[in-house]
Amino acid sequence: EVAGKIAEYRRVAAEEHDGWSGHVVLMLHTLLGDDLDQVREQVREPFTNYLKSSANLTAKSFTGKEMDLSELNADDMDYLAARAFDRYFETGGLFGSVERAAELLPHIRALGVDEIGCLVDFGVESRAVLDGIDKLGKLNEIISR
């Protein structure tokens, strides 16, 4: 779906701007660390809380349509947020080790993405965020070779 939207954006940009195909920045929630399981546990609670705070968007990403979530109880919301966390952690964010992120980048580029905007402040402990930024520097060194 993202690839199709990017292709459409580039088509329209080229038509409207004399062949310029635009510049696409994909914003991804990001935390890099040394170990995938450790990162998963570091982000689980804050990212789940973040997802709950934007539950309508979370539900829409699963169903493809707007939903009225006002009738859901707390257990339903917890379930929805837990499933959303699992999905986003695996496929909708830049989480894990530098090596894992480096493996994901060619797939992201293949979607038509020019640049990734890393969203690092979603409630994760400050030290982990700062350490993760250091890891982003290492990732940049790897992909710049």
Look at residue 60 in the predicted model and tell me its pLDDT. Answer: 61
Does the structure show a pLDDT above 80 at 20? yes
User: pTM for this one?
Assistant: 0.83
| Distance spanning both ends of the chain, measured CA to CA | 30
Look at residue 65 in the predicted model and tell me its pLDDT. Answer: 67
For 133-139, the CB contacts below 8 A with 24+ separation are: 135/32, 135/33, 135/97, 135/98, 136/30, 136/32, 138/98, 139/32, 139/98, 139/101, 139/102, 139/105
Residue pLDDT, tens place only, 71-123: 778 888 888 888 889 988 998 899 999 999 999 999 999 999 999 999 998 89
Cβ 60 vs Cβ 67: under 8 Å? yes
